[in-house]
Amino acid sequence: MTNPQVSAETIEALRQIDSATVSNAIEHFGVRDQVTGYISMEMNCQFPDHKPMVGFAVTATHDTTTAGDDRLMRLHDVMDMVLDAPSPTVLAVQYMGPDRMRSCLAGDMFCSAIQKLGAVGLVTDLGCRDFAGIRQRAPGFQLFCPGAVVSHGYGVYIDLDITVSICGLTIQPGDLLHGDANGIVSIPLAIVDDLVEQAQNVLKTETSYFDFLASDDYDYAGLKARMGRHE
């Protein structure tokens, strides 16, 4: 199922643009404060050589470190959510438990499974594992997490389809996320139809700036004038 608000062509066009440029382009529309809408440096892009990840958020909270836990894991419920959501999807999972630094959400088996169901990436403040296996068995699937944890513990999905907060970014179900080696930015759906063109304008401006730095016409006054446009 595709999202009727955003065309497949727009999604593909956004995949050709880096996340930092997308973030700069969003600022042009003045739809939110410039200090919001992006993830913190605590998050790590595990496959920085992949093309940018673009997808609609499917959200949940999770715990893997409560000793003696016997709650239902609800894994099939999450897989059903991914399957039924508009594609491409990004599973966004917030940790809710006693020991986040030892938490572990997913490995190659789970990432391969949700890729089959339409997911293009996973964003979580939990650890993950099997990075080499994910790269091999789920080609192109992107993983954002703080780092690796060797054991999966006892994994329980707690709340599904809710607003989550992951490394400083508030994510609602259906939010459009764009991520690469620079981090993750949330794209307001109200501006998405005009965003690609504005991002191209940002790239043109940056190209002109770097061409000026490399040219014989470079002088400090010209540099200050160009930098002033970005203050």
pLDDT tier at 3, thresholds 50, 70, 90: low
The whole-number average pLDDT for the span 39-47 is: 98
The reported pLDDT for the residue numbered 229 is: 56
Q: Give the Cα separation of 102 and 12 in Å (integer).
A: 36
- Rounded (10°) angle between helices 192-214 and 220-228: 170
The reported pLDDT for the residue numbered 200 is: 97
The reported pLDDT for the residue numbered 16 is: 98
The whole-number average pLDDT for the span 87-101 is: 97
Strands 53-63 and 89-95: parallel
The whole-number average pLDDT for the span 198-216 is: 95
- Residue 80: pLDDT over 90: yes
Strands 164-166 and 142-145: unpaired
CA angle 8, 141, 83 (to 5 degrees): 60
pLDDT digits (tens, 9 = 90+) for 24-38: 999 999 999 999 999
Could you write out the DSSP letters of every residue in the chain? -B-TTS-HHHHHHHTTS-HHHHHHHHHTTT-S-TTSSB--TT-EES-TTSPPEEEEEEEEEEE---TT--S---HHHHHHHHHHSPBSEEEEEEE-SS-GGG-B---HHHHHHHHHTTEEEEEESSBB--HHHHHHHSTT-EEEES-B-S-----EEEEESS-EEETTEEE-TT-EEEEETTEEEEEPGGGHHHHHHHHHHHHHHHHHHHHHHHSTT--HHHHHHHHHTT-
Q: Give the Cα separation of 87 and 1 in Å (integer).
A: 6
Radius of gyration of the chain (CA): 19
pLDDT digits (tens, 9 = 90+) for 126-185: 999 999 999 999 999 999 999 999 999 999 999 999 999 999 999 999 999 999 999 999
- Residue 228: pLDDT over 90: no
Give me 47's structure tokens.
């496959």
- Residue 231: pLDDT over 50: no
The whole-number average pLDDT for the span 191-209 is: 96
The reported pLDDT for the residue numbered 1 is: 56
Give me 74's structure tokens.
């609800």
The whole-number average pLDDT for the span 11-28 is: 98
The whole-number average pLDDT for the span 188-208 is: 96
Pick the range with the lowest mean pLDDT from 84-93, 192-201, 202-211, 222-231. 222-231
The reported pLDDT for the residue numbered 5 is: 77
pLDDT tier at 108, thresholds 50, 70, 90: very high
Q: Give the Cα separation of 181 and 160 in Å (integer).
A: 28
Percent of the chain whose pLDDT exceeds 70: 97
Give the Å distances, CA to CA, from 52 to 15, 22, 131, 133, 193: 5, 11, 18, 20, 18
